[in-house]
Amino acid sequence: MNPIPIIVDCDPGIDDTIALLAAFVSPELNILGITPVCGNQPLERTVRNALQVCELGGRTDIPVYAGCFRPMLREPIHGQFHGSTGLGHTTLPEPKKTVETMSAVDFLLEAFGAAAEKGERITLCCLGPLTNVAVALRMKPQLVDGIERIVMMGGAYREPGNRTMTSEFNVLADPHAAHVVFSSGVPIVALALDATHQVMLRPEHVAEFFRVSGRISETLAALMAFWDRNDVRRYGSRGGPLHDPLVIAYLLAPDLFQTEKAHIFVEYESELCMGQTIADWYGKSGQAPNADIVTKVDADGVIALFLERLGRYAEKAAA
Ligand code: BDR
Ligand code: CA
């Protein structure tokens, strides 16, 4: 089978990093580019982190394009669980490669435009605030013709928010961008907190990942250990939710996920509920569904998948 062409839009970030490392060793995926955005950290840092993760993963062949330095309208907010550099206490290798001169938005326009012209489509993996994608869609709505679908981490439906009472970080960080994306007509698979809170990376998993992952084991285990929220009251166990990597898991093993169709709305006016994502589960709005929302995840299956994938670094030599 031909590999799925993907672009990874992200804001690394600890869980973005785990997602990238898993994608790097998955031949089912052809990563055409990485487009960091302002999110967990300011843009300058998410770009640097993306370059460092490419270095660590031995994938300096993948181009990195810098995205938007702030959200469409609101002031930037940054992640609270990723440490001061965005990568916990780890020190990743200095990047030898540099960021491309083309901007992320221009790259998205070019890549999706070229795909559409050839009658092909690229899957867009969104692991951060949706600013880059929304700006590209605002510049050229025909972009949708080159997008197979967006598989995104963001939002909270039956779950409460993680950054505010109602809202998940990626959507809250740029609710206007999320509104543009959900209104675009692009098919969307939404992995929200409802899904990601089902897959907790517990201390015993961290020990397993350390055991199997060869040359990246120390860095990976340090990233994962930093991710532990230690909030049993909220999550029912120690550990941290495996948010962004689920996007990659969904592409590799969709059978591990169950979805329900619904129309998703984004609140971008009320300060109390800013960034809330609302799913019309029962057709109250009269709007056709615009997304497949993941409602159930086989958590053991996902952990096993990532153990197998990240275990590939035990064999893989640095590039
Ligand atoms: C999302 O917020 C970020 O901090 C994580 O990287 C993830 O993309 C979870 O709400
Ligand atoms: Ca992220």
Tell me the per-residue pLDDT of 144-156, one tens digit each, with 9 for 90 and over. 999 999 999 999 9
**Atom of ligand 1 at shortest distance to CA of 128?**
8
Ligand 1, residues 49, 169, 277: which to mutate, most atoms within 8 A of Cβ? Answer: 169
Average pLDDT over residues 161-176: 98
Mean pLDDT of all residues belonging to the chain: 96
**Atom of ligand 1 at shortest distance to CA of 193?**
10
Tell me: pLDDT of 316 over 60.
Answer: no
- Residue 222 in tokens: 């340090």
Q: Is the CB of 18 under 6 A from ligand 1?
A: no
CA distance 313 to 25: 8
Q: What is the pTM of this model?
A: 0.97
> How many A from CA of 40 to the centre of ligand 1?
7
Per-residue model confidence (pLDDT) at position 199 = 97
Tell me: pLDDT of 319 over 50.
Answer: no
Tell me: pLDDT of 126 over 90.
Answer: yes
Q: Is the CB of 153 under 6 A from ligand 1?
A: yes
Per-residue model confidence (pLDDT) at position 229 = 82
Percent above pLDDT 90 for the chain: 93
Q: Which listed ligand is nearest to 191 at the C-alpha?
A: 1
Domains, the chain, with CATH or none:
4-318 (3.90.245.10)
Average pLDDT over residues 242-267: 98
Average pLDDT over residues 228-239: 87
> How many A from CA of 81 to the centre of ligand 1?
9
**Atom of ligand 1 at shortest distance to CA of 127?**
8
Cβ–Cβ < 8 Å for 292, 250: no
Q: Is the CB of 313 under 6 A from ligand 1?
A: no
Tell me: pLDDT of 78 over 60.
Answer: yes
> How many A from CA of 285 to the centre of ligand 2?
30
Annotated catalytic residue 78: no
**Atom of ligand 1 at shortest distance to CA of 163?**
10
Q: Is the CB of 169 under 6 A from ligand 1?
A: yes
Q: pLDDT tens digits, residue range 175-195?
A: 999 999 999 999 999 999 999
Q: What angle do CA 268, 269, 271 make, to 5 degrees?
A: 100
> How many A from CA of 115 to the centre of ligand 1?
29
Per the model's pLDDT, the better-predicted residue between 169 and 82 turns out to be 169
User: Which residues lie closer than 8 Å to 194 by C-beta, 6 or more apart?
Assistant: 156, 157, 158, 159, 293, 294, 295
Q: pLDDT tens digits, residue range 36-67?
A: 999 999 999 999 999 999 999 999 999 999 99
CA distance 318 to 215: 8
Q: Is the CB of 79 under 6 A from ligand 1?
A: yes
Ligand 1, residues 40, 196, 200, 276: which to mutate, most atoms within 8 A of Cβ? Answer: 40
Average pLDDT over residues 233-252: 94
> How many A from CA of 133 to the centre of ligand 1?
17
* pLDDT band of 318, cuts 50, 70, 90: very low
Q: Which listed ligand is nearest to 9 at the C-alpha?
A: 2
Per-residue model confidence (pLDDT) at position 236 = 87
Q: Is the CB of 174 under 6 A from ligand 1?
A: no
Tell me: pLDDT of 226 over 90.
Answer: yes
**Atom of ligand 1 at shortest distance to CA of 241?**
9
CA distance 113 to 90: 38
Strand partners, 131: none
